[in-house]
Each structure stands twice: as structure tokens, then as C-alpha cells.
Amino acid sequence: MYPRTRAAQTPDKPALVMDDGRVTTYARLEDRSSRVAHALRDLGVRPGDAVALLTDNAPESFEVYWATMRSGFYITAVNHHLKPAEVAYIVDDCGATVLIASAGLAELAEAIGDLTPRIAHRFAFGAEVSGHRPYTDLLDADPLPDDAEQPRGSDMLYSSGTTGRPKGVRTAMLPLRVDEPGDPMSSLTQMLFGVDSDTVYLSMAPIYHAAPLRWCGAVVAWGGTVVMTASFDAEELLRLVEQHRVTHLQVVPTMFVRLLQLPEQVRRRYDLSSLRQAVHAAAPCPPEVKRRMIEWWGPVLTEYYGSTEGNGFTAITSAEWLTHEGSVGRTLLGVAHVCDDDGRELPAGEVGTIYFERETLPFRYHGDPEKTAAAQHPEHETWTAVGDVGYLDDEGYLYLTDRKAFTIISGGVNVYPQEIENVLTLHPAVYDVAVVGLPDDDLGERVAAFVQVREGVSGDDALAAELIEAVRAELAGFKAPRVVHFVDHLPRTPTGKLVKRRLVEAHGG
């Protein structure tokens, strides 16, 4: 599992390549992560303790990641797009006594200083940060002795907070001992997605998010190479695939939309023949978007459905999806159940809350037993739900309808925003779209669409009427928006998730 095995076999092979040309070899990753691990132990961090990481997409983040993974620590990578008070809440809540920050986030790191009294040791890499010791102080430690105990660590990440305050998720009870590579994420990436030592994986999402952090860790565990960028850019993705002969990449549906919005001559400019797997998740993908991506890239798209909580996992290949359009696949981890609000299991085709059954409780919300209990089925404590709504078909394929918190109840009827967004996403005038329910004295909630138009397009009454009619042509009339608001931008997290509560709060919620 740890870089030492790969460093012994291929010391000069790149483990990580940044888009600015910086390269971290396996030998360097092994040496520096071992030194950081030794230094953290000398500071009193013990198995089961947390280390907080406030970082942009920087190579040092993986040195810290592997230092914790080889020491039985939890690593809490914090969303740096949050406000200082929100960041401080997570840093304090995770119980860390050590914080390691990137100088690229110096202002934020300094702002939380007085708000995080539990932190006894602060370090910063990249440049000087007030109130923080140089990261090189950690690297001054000797590497771990060959006979040192190296229990497996785990991440303890916080949910995105799209529907409320972030929740810390403990998906493993530490300390644990696992040999080569052994943990569920590494096994799934190898068996399902074919990750191996020849893999070149492109990661363009923020490293504090569960999927990129875990995927990058798994690729290194198998001896592959991670190519990481500071942020997402559609044409840059295509260029890097060609330049590095990328075999695997992971995207979210909004990235597919941005790729399809590129001019045809740009899309055809790059050689993408090296791609073996284009993995996507994080949100339901509009069927027309996925169909067009398969036509462009071929049958290399694999979709999966999971969560930070890791309570279940489904996947579906391109070939399967073409015969089960809209599905996120069948379960590979856990058994899926769909239940009504009272916990009664529903038959195939009926929409309800999605639960996954496991042999033991797969996660706990850190310091919040009430939230943990609320995620459990009322009669089966090892069945857990994270708030998603959907249905199963007769063959056991799962279909996501929406987040339960996003469901609109208009005139007593459930309306699922995702299907309306699917209709509008590829409209030629639309750059981005979100559908929410706003308070309505008559209906309880009215369906409202928020639209960011493409450059050069005027968001006016005529376009609003055209969009409403486009929905009516595809869906039942009661699902059509009652109103269309044109906005300059939509509140999305850097991983592409819509923060719909901000729209509701700003427009009468």
C-alpha cells in the first residue's frame, strides 16, 4: 500500500506530475512522506488522531496524505472555498492538533488562527505564512526506521454541506493493519476500472474532495502515475490527455457539458486514443449529455454512484447504460433497497429513499450520534441512507431521481428537479441551469428555473417562454417551471455540485 514498495521497484518513476511540470518520483514521495510521518509521531500524533490539511492542488498534499496513511492517522482535507468560520469549524471538530497549510491559502490559514485553539502545531509549505512553521521543519526528521510500525490510516472528510452544515464522516475504525493495497477503494479501482502500474490518471478536481483524494491514493498504491492540475479547463483536459497519454480520468457531469460546449474544431483537435476509462460520478448525468459523450469518446465511460460515507457503491459501463439509459448501475458494495418515508421497502419502479445494506454499520458521523442514527433505517441499523432518492428496476439497476432535500412538492405532487435540468442542460442558449422549489401560497412550492445563458445570448422574456415550452414538450405540464430567473452564475462547489439552498435563501426561501 505504501510508496516504499513502489519506490524499491521503480524509484525514478513519476508518482505525481503537476501541470506546471513539477514531478514527484516514487523515491521522493517515499522519502518525504516517511520523514513527515516520523515528525508527526514525534509531535505526539498517535494512531486514531487526525491531521488537518488545508491545501490547494499541490504535490506536498500527497506527502502529507501518505504520511498519515502509513501511521494510522485520520487525514481531514478541508474545503478551502469555505469561509474562515466554516473552515475553523471543521478543523476544530475533527480534533486535530496539527494543521498543515499551503502558502497559496495563506490568507485563509492566517484568518483561522484564533478560531482553532486546539491546533498546537501549524506548518506551511510553498512560502512563509504568518503563525506557521516551515514545512521543511517536518522534512528535517529522519525517515521511519525499516522496522517501524506502519498501521493503515484513513481519511475523515466532511460532507460538502450542500444542504446544511458539513458532517465529518468516519468510514473506518482505526488503527487498522492492511498490507499491499488491500483497502476497498484500491480494490475497486483495480478490479472494476483496471487501474494498474501502467495507469496514467488525470485529476482536475480539488484534492480535498473524497473522489479525487481517494482515487489519486489508489493509483499510487497500484504504482501508476497521477497527473494533477490546479483547476478544470475543458480544452486543457483534452490537451493533457494527448500530452501524457492519459489512460484514466474522472469527471463530473458539468465537465462533460463544458466539453460538449467547445467548438467542434477544438474537440477534434486532440488525440484521445489512449483513454481506457472515463469515470464519472458526483451527480446524475443528463442522458443526452452522456449519449453524446459516448458517441465522441467511444464506450470508455463508466459511471459509478457512491458517497463520502462509503455506505454503498454501484457502477455501470457504457454498453450497459445504452440498454439501461439513465441508470447508475447495479450494486458492487452493499445491497440496495428503496423505501418509503416510513421505511417500507418499495417494489421495482417506485421512487423512494435509497438505502444500502451492509453487514456492519459502514460509517459514523464524527461526534454526532444523532445524525448517525438519522441515516439508519428505522428497523435495520446496518441499512443506511445519505439522502438520495431513486428507484430500482426489475433487473436491479438503480436510477437516481434527485436528492431528497431538493424534491419539490407542488400542489401535493413530487417534482424532481433533475429531470427538468436534464431537458434544459443542452439547450443552445443555456450555459448552466438549476431548478428549485420556491415558496408559493397556493401550491406550497412553485417550480423555478435559474439559468445562466451562453455568451452572446440575451436572457429575456422570449427566451424564458421558449425554455418553459421546451420542458412542456418533454415532460408533464405540472413539471414545467412557473418562472425562469436569469443569473450571472450559479452557486456550484468546485466539484460541480449545486448549492441549491443559496438560491432558495436568496429568492424567498
Cα–Cα distance measured from residue 80 to residue 2, given in angstroms and rounded to the nearest whole number: 27
How many separate domains does the chain show? 2
Residue 37 lies in a domain: yes
User: Which pLDDT tens digit goes with each residue over 97-117?
Assistant: 999 999 999 999 999 999 999
Strand order in the sheet with 364-365: 133-134, 121-125, 98-102, 50-54, 74-77, 154-158, 168-170, 364-365
Residues whose CB falls within 8 Å of the CB of residue 9, separated by 6 or more in sequence, listed in order: 223
Residue 247 lies in a domain: no
Last residue of a domain, one of 177, 207, 237: 177
Three-state SS at 149: coil
> Cis bond leading into 494, ω under 30°?
no
Q: For residue 175, what pLDDT band results from cuts at 50, 70 and 90?
A: low
Pick from 34, 295, 271: nearest CA to 143? 34
Tell me what pLDDT residue 181 has.
40
| CB-based contact 386:311 (threshold 8 Å) | yes
Res. 73: pLDDT tops 80 = yes
Last residue of a domain, one of 160, 177, 194: 177
Residue 358 lies in a domain: no
Residue 125 lies in a domain: yes
Last residue of a domain, one of 122, 156, 177: 177
Residue 159 lies in a domain: yes
Q: Tell me the Cα Rg of the chain.
A: 23
User: Which pLDDT tens digit goes with each residue over 294-317?
Assistant: 999 999 999 998 887 888 989 999
Backbone angles phi, psi at 322, to 5 degrees: -65, -20
Residue 250 lies in a domain: no
Residue 322 lies in a domain: no
In terms of phi and psi (left: phi > 0; alpha: psi -120 to 50; beta: otherwise), the region of 17 is: beta
Tell me what pLDDT residue 325 has.
92
Residue 422 belongs to what domain range? 407-506
451 membership: H or E segment, kind and range:
strand 444-453
The type of residue at 107 is E
Task: Name beta bridge partners: 279.
Answer: 250, 302
Q: What is the CATH number of the domain that holds 122?
A: 3.40.50.12780
User: Which pLDDT tens digit goes with each residue over 368-380?
Assistant: 888 889 889 999 9
Q: What is the CATH number of the domain that holds 457?
A: 3.30.300.30
354 membership: H or E segment, kind and range:
strand 352-357
Tell me what pLDDT residue 179 has.
44
Residue 444 lies in a domain: yes
Mean pLDDT of the chain: 88
CA angle 282, 285, 287 (to 5 degrees): 165
